């Protein structure tokens, strides 16, 4: 089986809720994603304020929720890698904006470290419990979707286009897609922030 088909099968397994599929995706891609996050977090003081583990967990949670609900079309490994790159860039930029906001601006902080000690660098491996935690986050996020949102997710899993879904919902394809994306973002944010209803 070639690598492209293997990725498509893995994405389909995640969408089907297959046990272990989310963990397999995390195990395969976590080292690359973590390396990319760390590369992007190389700016001096801000690196000390942002934990790469937290950013990675947020990336995988966001990706898994969206994949499981059919938001992304992944046809091969390159599609998935481009998607990871975009999510990493967006999540790191979000963290930069948060930490450079007027009230939190890390540029105003002064280090008490006169020796210039190196930053602590945690290990690069994800534990099975972290991978399981991501699968649980996906399940909790799905529980928070409305019946209509779950129906849209089912249609996307079945391969329906946004045009077809828009017709069923009596709206435009773009409106249906955007409404679904907002719903996914809403529940992802709630799960990541621990604000479940």
Burial class from Cβ neighbours inside 10 Å (0-12, 13-18, 19+) for residue 126 reads: buried
> Are the C-beta atoms of 145 and 156 separated by less than 8 Å?
no
pTM over 0.75: no
pLDDT tens series, the chain, 197 aa: 345 458 888 888 888 888 788 888 888 898 999 888 888 877 655 666 777 788 888 888 888 888 888 888 888 889 888 998 898 888 888 877 776 665 554 445 555 454 544 444 444 455 555 555 667 777 777 888 889 988 888 888 888 889 999 999 999 989 988 998 888 888 877 776 664 43
> Residue 108 has what DSSP assignment?
G
> Are the C-beta atoms of 44 and 94 separated by less than 8 Å?
no
């Amino acid at each position: 089986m070639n690598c492209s088909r293997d990725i498509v099968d893995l994405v389909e397994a995640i969408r089907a809720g297959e046990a272990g599929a989310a963990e397999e995706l995390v195990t395969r891609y976590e080292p690359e994603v973590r390396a990319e996050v760390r590369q992007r977090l190389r700016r001096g003081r801000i690196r000390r304020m942002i934990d790469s583990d937290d950013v990675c967990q947020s990336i995988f949670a966001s990706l898994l929720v969206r994949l499981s609900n059919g938001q992304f079309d992944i046809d091969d490994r390159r599609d998935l890698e481009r998607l990871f790159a975009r999510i990493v860039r967006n999540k790191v930029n979000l963290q930069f904006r948060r930490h450079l906001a007027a009230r939190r601006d890390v540029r105003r902080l002064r280090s008490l470290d006169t020796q210039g000690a190196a930053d602590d660098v945690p290990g690069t491996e994800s534990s099975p419990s972290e991978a399981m935690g991501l699968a649980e986050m996906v399940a909790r996020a799905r529980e928070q979707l409305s019946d209509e949102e779950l129906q849209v997710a089912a249609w996307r899993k079945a391969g329906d286009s946004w045009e077809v879904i828009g017709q069923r919902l009596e709206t435009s394809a773009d409106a249906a897609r955007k409404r679904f994306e907002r719903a996914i973002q809403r529940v992802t944010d709630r799960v990541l922030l621990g604000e479940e209803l």
